[in-house]
Structure 1
Amino acid sequence: MVEAQQTMPGQSRAHRMRALPIALSACLVISLMAAGFALKREHDKLSAQERIAVAHRLALHAAELRDDDPVRARNLGLAAVNIHSDDRTRAGLIDTLVMWRRTDLYALEVGGVQGVALSGDGRIALTGDSDGVGVWDLKTWLDPNVALTDKSDRLAVLKGHQEDVGALALSFDGRTAMTGSDDGTTMLWDLADPARPARLATLRGAAKGEYANGVQAMALTRDSRRAVVADFDGNMIVWDLAKRSHPVRLSVTKAHDSYIRDVILSADGRTAVTSGEDKTVTVWDMTDPVRPVKLADLELPGNFAESTKMSADGRTIVVANPDRADVWRLDDRTRPIHTAMLELPPVDMYDVALTPDGKTVLMAGGSGTGFLWDLSQPSLPARLAAMKGYTTEVNSVALSADGRVALMASPDRGVSLWSLDGLADIVADPGGAICDLSPGSEISRADWVRFAGDADWSDYGPDNVDSLLLCFIRP
């Protein structure tokens, strides 16, 4: 039985001969499948690379057209995002959509605007120019249903200084204003009725030193009961404004060896920060305003601080200089901690605005563009938008408390007003923000050929149409 069950040598050889073609066929199939997968991967890779290149090309053209043809810029930007969404295409479309929210409050041929200030609710604004300090009610300007020709003009002009006004401050409630002049005087104003401002008092500066003691910067506490004025001689002057018609000077402190570029106060007035031309930024304990106490100096890398701003609780500081912008924390006021550096283009930043909660910062300078950042996580700042304003430069910016209203002033032009309501939705999904409102947005075949180069139209939509619906581009 055992011998009968054994396979004869000839039979084994025949079996192997029959199995060999099957094995070869299987190997061939596997090889072909592997080659097919490799070809598909290579095709998909090339296709993905082409989509990225097309998207970036469209985003670049959108940026170039943003000033002169905003509708086409928006459509090209939307096409770029829907073809390939990445940081570059999304940022480009966000910037285009934000620019649509700009209104030129007014323009000047000569002189320009030297400074702006904004109330906490974003309604009352101050603008300083060669004609004086204008008082504005922005209610009609922020209402999209009011025609441009029906927007209200400035309500009043604050005058009285003998020389140019170099510094402005406006209380959180918009009812108190301060104006500081190159002649060293500071004027206190009642804006309870902004159309009929009343001058309350004139605050005299410190005794003149080696240089003129022109007012460089000023700040108010949240309740407007205390003010700090900084001058060209490096003095920090503290005023008690409890009786606004009779301010009392509490102290004069030599804060810096050179002139002070900026001074800021916490909402409760217990912390002040000054920045000087001597490349120092100093933190002060103002608990006793008669005897301010120096707590610490920020170790600044690089150049002097062009502008410094602080959150209402005195815990977050943003410092901008000609080289960079940095975020600091003051949880321990004697030991400031550097938490982040903002990645900005290599242009001077002349001014900074920070919301009271310390979560949104706007800065602008020599490029004429404002840069808006989210500081909700101070160690991980996130870019929100670039606000393209005047093509020259911006020397003063302001933000409302909720970050929904912004002002940018140009020294040789005027003031631009930005309505940033709904910005969070735009940043989260810029393509969806357009498609929700304008699902029929499209690009013509002619524009596709002009801006997308030799990219095949049929890869992104039907070939037998004359326009491509941007909200339905093929993935």
Structure 2
Amino acid sequence: MSTLSSAANGRKLPSLAVTLAYVRACGGAEAEWSGRWHAAAAETAARVARDAEAASSGGTDAAALGAGRAPYAGLAAFQAEDGDRFFGREEMVDDLLNRLADRSLVTVFGASGAGKSSLLRAGLVPRWQGVALVITPGAHPLEECAIQLAGIAGEAPGRLHADLVADPRNLHRSVRQVMIRRADKAELLLVVDQFEETFTLCAEQEERARFIASLVTAAQTEGSRCRVVLGVRADFYEHCTNHAELARVMADAQVAVGPMGTDELRRAITQPATNAGCVLESALLAELIAAAYNRVGVMPMLSHALLETWRRRRGHTLTLAGFQAAGGIDGALAHTAEALYDTFTPHQQSLTKNLLCRLTALGEGTADTKRRITRSELDESDPDVGIVLDRLTTARLLTVDRAGIEITHEALIRRWPRLYGWLIDDREGLGIHHRLAVSAEAWESLGREPGALYRGTRLEVACAWLAAVGNVAERAQAAVLAPRERDFIDASLAVERAEADRARRRSLRMRQFTGLLAVLLIAAVTAACYAVSAESEMARQRNTALAQRVAVAAIALRSSRPALAAQLSLAADRLAPTPDTRDGLLSTMTTTLNGHTQVVSSVAFSPDGRTLATGSFDRTVRLWDTTDLRRPVAAATLVGHTDTVATVAFSPDGRTLASAGRDRTVWLWDVSDPRAPVRAGILTGHTDTVFFVVFSPDGRTLATGSYDHTIRLWNVADRAAPTALAKLTGHTLNVKPVAFSPDGRLLASGSDDRTVRLWDVSDPRHPAPRAVLTGHKDFVDAVVFSPDGRTLASSSDDRTIRLWDVTRPRRPARLAVLTGHADVVSSVAFSTDGRLLASSSDDRSTRLWNVADLRHPVPRAVLTGHVGAVQAVVFHPGGRTIATAGADHTAQLWETDPRRVVTRACEIAHPVITRTEWSRYFPGLAYRPPCRH
């Protein structure tokens, strides 16, 4: 009552919780009053700030408080000079120092936002008894290492860089040369922060390998005077293990940076404020600990929220009201970014979008990361560029130094909905722009060498993208391109026009020469016929090359201008009907299902084909009404999993859906009404990720494969009370896929131990092993039986698909090996008639194979369109459509029959391609729209 009385008298603003409780009691609108409260809190905070400023002019204590620097770092990582603000990780720093006493190379893993950089820079470096050097790899890690090391070695960076490129052992030699001048036992601590940039920004595989070899050699060579610490984002663990030398030394030298405990959080929150002469309200401290406890990646948001709360402090006190006015932990960052964005003019907002998209490296199977750029990528002739850059830097959303410009922390990418939306809306276009920026930088570094310019398909794709964002002829005024990039495109177009002019002149001379020969050698009929035939062949080759370029351009336009893309791909296929143009036509006519916010990991059709289920890393399962495959409709979203969903499967009667994933449980859902699904049961028992689930043909048994190295069989006849039947052991590593034969008597399983095992499950309570299939050279990711049960297909990280004759389960035989994918083959599926096999891959493609002759499979089509790894593929029961799941957060439906694709292309061909558009893509060819309406 006293709280409300104080508020009524204007002495104190009540908390948001108290305000809303009073509103509910009076029957008011909570949303409206919540907005009023935030406005009042912001006004109160501003008044407190003005009072503090006025007090500072009078020399009061408040002045002393306001004169000091902020006790919190916000989004920026703590540096070595921030020891008076860095608390809570003391035990972890001790652990790192102890490990470095015994090991020469230690890796520090943690999620983005866990505090790795601050731990290394403000925790470890100040306590190191010796010389410490901190680097971030960037696009050229060897060059960055040379520049930083040259500063303490007293050498020229260019010479040191040449030495590092020539021999990985030269880093070890340079460090010894530096340290031999120091105390006898002094050692250099080389901290490589944000080591994941070695994989995301360094495009040259050879340079990446040399950098890693240099680090390992410097740490491991006998007599070394160097200790190496790598700070790596957790989702790049697998990238590290792909390098044998690094994986070997990492095996027993890893430190995981997880969420802070309660005591650690309390020190991290209160101690900086105490040192700055401030105190926290007890309610605020409790709220902060409750909101941040056991949350991965929360540290930058917590630090930013504390900084914004400190700016809204009341005298020496950080208040709960100030924290809530800032937007809380989850909203403070977005609140700051959005408030700043709203102050910009429309042109400045456009510049902000372009700048932040440039500063983001798009992930392929991993989360998006920040990217460092130089000022040369910006058009600083526009005064608004400097304004935007200064204000974003002042707000600590960007960090600008002599090395370049970068987003202060990747939390901005994940937590500001507007930026996240920009990255999702035109991911394909952003990828094209980033590749253009890299190519322009390489061209500049080579002294604008003409050989480095775009030509052919790459130039067509870049121009098609520019046409989608603004008229190509006006690209010099488009804010999306930097001056260097505009020069690069201009030069590429100029070279292509010059080459086209030379080709036309050559063609004209050829025709003149042919005419002259015809006049002079009219009697030589054979020679004349030969000349005509040669010209016809030249025209055919020209048409083939032109059709292939247009097919690629059509795929780039399919999202922004689907009608034009359909007509271009169809016209290209008719101009030159080749496998490439046919694949382009199939790839253009897709239907995209949007809705998931993270990787879509699994897809499954119901037996009647009227429902599609998709599972995702966003912990949800979505159901889609696919009665009309061209216009799927979202039906329902299933929530309940507490971690990534890895697999979904329908029962044979279509009434039950099973889903499972990293939370180690299997959920059974009653989907008799797909618009109102109900949880029916839950299976527990596995001790690690459940990678795959599959129902037996009679629907009474469920098989599950898990990373705990086992397969389990469950009786699910009663969905509400499922029971365990048996546990199958034998695999020595993670079990991934499992599959029942059509008669339900045989079960196949694949594993990271590179084998496929066959099991007799005629009696599911007493399964028996039958055979072990070997041949794959890496992890087995998928297995599937053909509809007649006589053939088994398996796929692997070794980029191959293998076909096996399992007519005699005790003596399976090898039939064929399918190659063509350029990366992990994640999934395989047979069509209902068994004549087609579909495969999906991390190389972003889905391939179709004609397997009518099992010993001599033939490639049929390559489907492209996903902008990330393709995680799974499945056939529709009708056999003419496939569904795929992608790391680009989408599922897609594809027609596999080219004749049906042609019909559909003409159905959407409105408006009809104009003569101007035709001339741009088919120069020199008569206007001939592919569809007549």
Give TM-score, length-normalised by structure 2: 0.40
Matched, 1:398 2:398: no
Matches within 5 A, 1:338-377: 338-377=814-853
Residues 451/332 of structure 1: CA separation in 2 closer, same or farther (3 Å cut): same
**Which residue, out of 224, 227, 230, partners 2:705?**
230
What's the counterpart of residue 380 of structure 1?
A: 856
Following TM superposition, by how much is the alpha carbon of 1:125 offset from its aligned partner in structure 2, in angstroms? 1.8
Taking the aligned partners of 1:367 and 1:385, their CA distance within structure 2 comes to 15
Which of 546, 553, 558 aligns to 1:57? It is 546
For residues 13-67 of structure 1, give each alpha carbon's deviation from its aligned partner in whole angstroms, at most 9, with x where no partner exists.
Answer: xxxxxxxxxxxxxxxxxxx999533552454245224313422332233223322
Equivalent runs, 1:209-220 vs 2, <5 Å? 212-220=687-695
Structure 2 CA distance for aligned equivalents of residues 84 and 347 of structure 1: 29
Q: Any conservation in 1 of the 2:833–2:879 contact (CA below 8 Å)?
A: no
Q: Is the 8 A contact 2:752 2:778 kept in 1?
A: no
Partner of 2:771: 296
Residues 564 and 913, structure 2, Cα contact 8 Å, conserved in 1? no
The structure-2 alpha-carbon separation of the partners of 1:70 and 1:196, relative to structure 1 and needing over 3 Å to count, comes to closer
Q: Distance in 1 between matches of 2:664 and 2:906?
A: 55
Q: Report what 1:205 is aligned to.
A: 685
> Which amino acid counterpart does residue 582 of structure 2 have in structure 1?
I
Give distance in 2, aligned partners of 1:200 and 1:445. 59
Cα distance in 2, alignment partners of residues 433 and 44 from structure 1? 37
- Structure 2 equivalent of residue 182 of structure 1: 662
Greater helix share, 1 or 2?
2
State yes or no: 1:333 paired with 2:821: no
Distance 1:327 1:441 in 2: 46
Q: Deviations over 1:156-201 (max 9, x none)?
A: 4142x34333222212332111122323222222222223323332
2:731 to 249, 256, 267: 256
Kindly tell me the number of residue pairs found equivalent between the two proteins. Answer: 406
Any idea what the Cα deviations from partners look like across 1:390-435, whole Å, max 9, x if unmatched? 21222122222232332222234222233x27x16359xx6x9979
1:153 aligns with 2:634: yes
Distance of aligned partners of 1:77 and 1:101 in 2 relative to their CA distance in 1, 3 Å threshold: closer
Q: Deviations over 1:47-101 (max 9, x none)?
A: 224313422332233223322155555555555544554xxx2x23333332344
Residue of structure 2 equivalent to 1:16: none
1:211-267 CA-partner distances (Å, limit 9, x unpaired): x42212111112211111111121111122233333232211113100111111113
Q: 2:634 matched to 1:135?
A: no
Answering whether residue 643 of structure 2 is matched by residue 163 of structure 1, we say yes
- Match of 1:29? none
Tell me the alpha carbon deviations over residues 327-367 of structure 1, each in whole angstroms, 9 at most, x when there is no partner.
Answer: 22222222333333334231222222323443332222223
Question: C-alpha separation between the residues in 1 aligned to 2:774 and 2:545?
Answer: 40
Query: Is the contact between residue 77 and residue 92 of structure 1 (CA under 8 Å) also seen in structure 2?
Result: no
Distance across 1 between alignment mates of 2:929 and 2:661: 57
Q: 3-state DSSP class of the match of 1:345?
A: coil
Q: Output the CA distance in 2 between the equivalents of 1:378 and 1:433.
A: 32
1:467 equivalent in alignment to 2:927: yes
Q: Which piece of structure 1 moves more, 246-255 or 76-85? A: 76-85
Question: For 1:446 and 1:67, how far apart are their aligned partners in 2?
Answer: 15
Amino acid at match of 1:175: R
Contact 1:51 1:83 in 2 (8 A): no
Q: Which letter does structure 2 place at the counterpart of 1:134?
A: R
What pairs with 1:234-313 in structure 2 (closer than 5 Å)?
Answer: 234-313=709-788
CA contact (8 A) 1:114 1:395 kept: yes
Paired residues of 1:135 and 1:158 also in contact (CA < 8 A): no
User: In structure 1, what is the equivalent of residue 580 of structure 2?
Assistant: 92
Task: Report if aligned partners of 1:326, 1:342 keep a CA contact under 8 Å in 2.
Answer: yes
Give 2:607's match in structure 1, choosing from 96, 100, 120. 120
CA distance in 2, matches of 1:386, 1:268: 32
Do the aligned residues in 1 keep the contact of 2:619 with 2:639 (CA within 8 Å)? no
Structure 1, unpaired ranges of 5+: 1-31, 145-150, 207-211, 458-465
Shift of 1:275: 0.6
In 2, Cα distance between the equivalents of 1:83 and 1:132? 45
1:441 positional shift: 8.4
Query: 3-state DSSP class of the match of 1:306?
Result: strand
Give the letter aligned to residue 467 of structure 1.
Y
Q: Could you tell me whether the CA contact under 8 Å between 2:620 and 2:637 is conserved in 1? A: no
- The residue type equivalent to 2:733 in the other structure is S
Distance, in Å, in 1 between the alignment partners of 2:800 and 2:733 is 21
Matched, 1:106 2:594: yes
Which of the residues 800, 803, 823 maps onto 1:324? 800
Residue 290 to residue 357, structure 1, CA distance change in 2 (3 Å)? farther
* 8 A Cα contact 1:55 1:83, kept in partner: yes
Check whether the contact 1:63–1:73 (CA below 8 A) recurs between aligned residues. Answer: no
TM-score where L is the length of structure 1: 0.74
CA distance in 2, matches of 1:433, 1:131: 34
1:407-418 to structure 2, matched below 5 A, reads 407-418=883-894
From the superposition, tell whether residues 344 and 444 of structure 1 become closer, same or farther in structure 2 (CA, over 3 Å): farther
Q: CA separation in 2, counterparts of 1:298 and 1:234?
A: 17
1-structure distance, mates of 2:598, 2:907:
43
Q: 1:46 to 1:34 in 2, by over 3 A?
A: same
In the alignment, the residues of structure 1 paired with residue 662 and residue 570 of structure 2 have an alpha-carbon distance, to the nearest angstrom, of 49
Q: Which residue of 2 aligns with 1:27?
A: none
Q: Is the 2:565–2:588 Cα contact (8 Å) retained in structure 1?
A: no
- Structure having the higher strand fraction is 1
Alpha-carbon separation, structure 2, partners of 1:229 and 1:364: 22
Provide Cα deviations, 1:268-288, integer angstroms capped at 9, x if missing partner: 221111110011111222222
CA RMSD of aligned residues (A): 3.3
Distance 1:74 1:199, change over 3 A: closer
Q: Partner letter of residue 386 of structure 1?
A: V
Secondary structure in 2 aligned to 1:395?
Answer: strand
CA distance change for structure 1 residues 38 and 224 in 2, over 3 Å: closer, same or farther?
same
* Closer, same or farther: CA 363–214 of 1 in aligned 2, 3 Å: same
Contact 2:554 2:566 in 1 (8 A): no
Paired position in structure 2 for 1:40: 529
Q: Secondary structure at the match of 1:154?
A: strand
Kept in 2, the 8 Å contact 1:373–1:384? The answer is yes
1:203–1:433 Cα change, 3 Å: closer
Asked if the contact 2:547/2:575 (under 8 Å) is kept, the reply is no
Q: Structure 1 CA distance, aligned partners of 2:570 and 2:784?
A: 35
Residues 288 and 248 of structure 1, relative CA distance in 2, 3 Å threshold: same
